[in-house]
Amino acid sequence: MRVMTERPLNAETPTASLRSWITDNEVFFKRNQGQFPDAPINLSQWVLRVDGLVAKALSLSFEDIRRLPKVEVADTLECSGNSRSLLKNKASGNPWTIGGVGNAIWGGIWLKDLLEAAGLQDNARHVGFEGFDKPMGSAGIKFIRSIPLGKAMSSTLLAYEMNGQPLPLKHGYPLRALALGWTGANCVKWLSKITVQEKSSEGFFMDKVYRVFQKGEDPKSGEVVTDIDIKSIIVEPVMDQTLSAGVVPVRGAAYAGEAGIKKVEVSVDHGATWHPAKLIGLEQPYAWRHWEYLWQARTGGDYTIMARATDANGIRQPETAHWNALGYGNNGVREHALKIRINA
Amino acid sequence: MRVMTERPLNAETPTASLRSWITDNEVFFKRNQGQFPDAPINLSQWVLRVDGLVAKALSLSFEDIRRLPKVEVADTLECSGNSRSLLKNKASGNPWTIGGVGNAIWGGIWLKDLLEAAGLQDNARHVGFEGFDKPMGSAGIKFIRSIPLGKAMSSTLLAYEMNGQPLPLKHGYPLRALALGWTGANCVKWLSKITVQEKSSEGFFMDKVYRVFQKGEDPKSGEVVTDIDIKSIIVEPVMDQTLSAGVVPVRGAAYAGEAGIKKVEVSVDHGATWHPAKLIGLEQPYAWRHWEYLWQARTGGDYTIMARATDANGIRQPETAHWNALGYGNNGVREHALKIRINA
């Protein structure tokens, strides 16, 4: 993995591992604000608290969670700042290239089932999440996030399994929120408490970051980063690779958060002409589609390869991303272009 | 893993790992007749030969394989002898319980694409497979198998990726045949040669084993084990477990090779009454369905739990398996029953 920071751990999925529909847990990208929970979490003592605007607050053991109806779903998780380093106008934050993304099959329960068991009060509008991870810095800031009630009730999982394993510690053991199709920042790890609220949560991780704003603007004036926008990445070939003339497989992934993928097109001439790629592999809600274009590269020279995806709502990836101060959501076609050389 | 033999390696998927739709590569069951290939396979020197009744024999490098159209599919692989040890009338062979099965997402190419590139002669009827694994015993018997041309052309993969990793050595690195929906014996590992033939292959592993016959009969008179028959397994609770009264999740998997799953029913009273289970998780051709029945266990005592599945063609799992000398295909409902105790 390409490790950007060790403490806290921030590391990309290797490009070769993005070639498979399933991203293996070991290489699945890691993005952490603070440190992992202090002590090993003892499952028999672990308790999840559900409180706030509910009819009856709940304290659930892990066995209680396991007794609720089980769900297994695919979800492609992307870091809000993925591809930030590919922006032409630099933005501050971890220098992700394309590997702040991965796809897994998650097992767990619907958050909806828990909230219905607790009972919602009439003024419930948001659901806040808090984890067992350590508070950060001298101010002791916790990674606290909330999502709107609609998302919580429609398509948010509490996951305890990931690709056939108990959820690994690095991915939030034993329980993690997964707002399906939304960026990783909306998916709190090491869950300790779920609070039903009238207003969205406050604090550094709600108000200062994970918002789309321009330099000089108040971060809080910008929209919160939630659903993943339509994007494609090229995983084969890789940047600056030299290849022999003949069949050159151009392969990648396309994803659009809550939306499906309608089509992917590939250009090998810097965007002058476009060719339809074939969508391959599994098709599942909230999961990426893999795609392939078998390019007949007959003439030697330097080439710029691009891919552009269109989602099921007809929304196409922009030529260049909408820039913002923290470089979130870089889904620009040009920023993701690849230069390669063909030897005739 | 429950290791039955070390040399060659034969080991079951642990029951806890059967709870997830994806079976992690590390714990995915291993079933080998002989030893792994002698030396580490060097990918740059690896060659796959395609010969026999073809217009033009081929020798392909791994890069040649990678340049063919890529496929990613789910496939539930089961050992032909899985559940043999649960038969009441014992049969010879490795004593598999329920763990000779696993589900993965495999990346590779269609065998059809290779065969079409080679060109089939008119009398082509079967496709034989040979691997780099060591010949066995003093007679130097190779694990050679063939499948009918129809299966080879319709739904047989040559896999080089498994659950997001290059195919592991223990699973056939770098390339393995996967006759989708058929038992593992039809899925030759460490592929070295594919031969198009008029007749099916001969030898020990075609004629003496992997056939359904009775004691005293000529093995060759029995049918070859191919497609996996409809079956369900219970993965929670486990045999002889003692549980508290209340909600007891009964969960498992059902699979039927080339057929889909229509329904699963659960009995907690030794087959007297049956309750519909809910099918959960992903639905993909050739892959198992997970299922769940949340049993309200109110009264203490001893219980016998059973599950029975019906495939998309309406074929239901038999009460008891059709016995045969080598104990293949044990899909009996009663053989898979579980005894548990409820403490009131």
Span A137-148, pLDDT tens digits: 888 899 999 999
In chain A, which residue's Cα lies nearest the Cα of B102?
A: A164
Q: What is residue B269's DSSP assignment?
A: B
pLDDT higher than threshold 80 for residue A38 = no
- Mean of the per-residue pLDDT values for chain A? 96
- Structure-token pair, residue A99: 């590997």
What local confidence, expressed as pLDDT, does residue A263 receive?
98
3-state SS, residue B85: helix
Tally Cβ neighbours within 10 Å of residue A240.
Answer: 9
pLDDT higher than threshold 90 for residue A205 = yes
3-state SS, residue B232: strand
Positions of chain B with pLDDT lower than 70, given as ranges: 38-39
What local confidence, expressed as pLDDT, does residue A36 receive?
80
- Distance between A92 CA and the closest CA of chain B, angstroms: 31
Instruction: Answer whether A90 touches B (CB < 8 Å).
Output: no
C-alpha dihedral sign at A144, A26, B11, B261: positive
Q: What is the helix (H) or strand (E) element at residue B5, kind and residue range?
A: strand B2-5
Rounded to 5°, the CA angle A50-B16-A11 comes to: 65
CB neighbour list of residue A201: distance below 8 Å, 6 or more residues apart: A126, A128, A144, A145, A146
Residue in B314, B296, B324, B334 with CA at minimum distance from that of residue B224: B324
CB neighbour list of residue A127: distance below 8 Å, 6 or more residues apart: A111, A115, A146, A147, A148, A149, A152, A156, A194, A195, A196, A197
* Global model pTM greater than 0.90: yes
- Structure-token pair, residue A23: 């991203």
Domain spanning B231-343 has what CATH number?
2.60.40.650
What local confidence, expressed as pLDDT, does residue B212 receive?
97
On chain A, the residues whose CB falls within 8 A of the CB of B69 are: 278, 280, 292, 294
The rounded percent of chain A whose pLDDT value lies above 70 is 99
Tally Cβ neighbours within 10 Å of residue B49.
Answer: 15
Q: CA B168, CA B147: separation in Å to the nearest integer?
A: 24
Domain boundaries, chain B: 2-224, 231-343
What local confidence, expressed as pLDDT, does residue B135 receive?
86
| DSSP-derived secondary structure for B144-181 | -EEEEHHHHHHHEEEEEEETTEEPPGGGTTT-EEEETT
- What ipTM was reported for this prediction? 0.95
Q: CA B114, CA B82: separation in Å to the nearest integer?
A: 31
Q: CA B49, CA B193: separation in Å to the nearest integer?
A: 5
Name residues 45-74 of chain B within 8 A of A (Cβ): 66-67, 69-74
Write out the CATH class of domain B2-224.
alpha beta
In chain A, which residue's Cα lies nearest the Cα of B160?
A: A20
What local confidence, expressed as pLDDT, does residue A111 receive?
98
Question: What is the arithmetic mean of pLDDT over A279-299?
Answer: 98
Q: B interface mutation test: which of A18, A64, A72 has the most B CBs within 10 A?
A: A72
Strand ranges of the sheet holding B30-31, from the earlier edge strand across to the other edge: B2-5, B10-12, B30-31
Is B20 in Cβ contact with A105 (below 8 Å)?
Answer: yes
Q: B interface mutation test: which of A22, A71, A241, A280 has the most B CBs within 10 A?
A: A22
Tens digit of each residue's pLDDT (9 = 90 or more) over B234-253: 999 999 999 999 999 999 99
Question: What is the arithmetic mean of pLDDT over A302-313?
Answer: 98
Residue in B113, B109, B341 with CA at minimum distance from that of residue B243: B341
Instruction: Answer whether B23 touches A (CB < 8 Å).
Output: yes
Q: Which residue has the higher pLDDT, A41 or A179?
A: A179
Tens digit of each residue's pLDDT (9 = 90 or more) over A123-133: 999 999 999 98
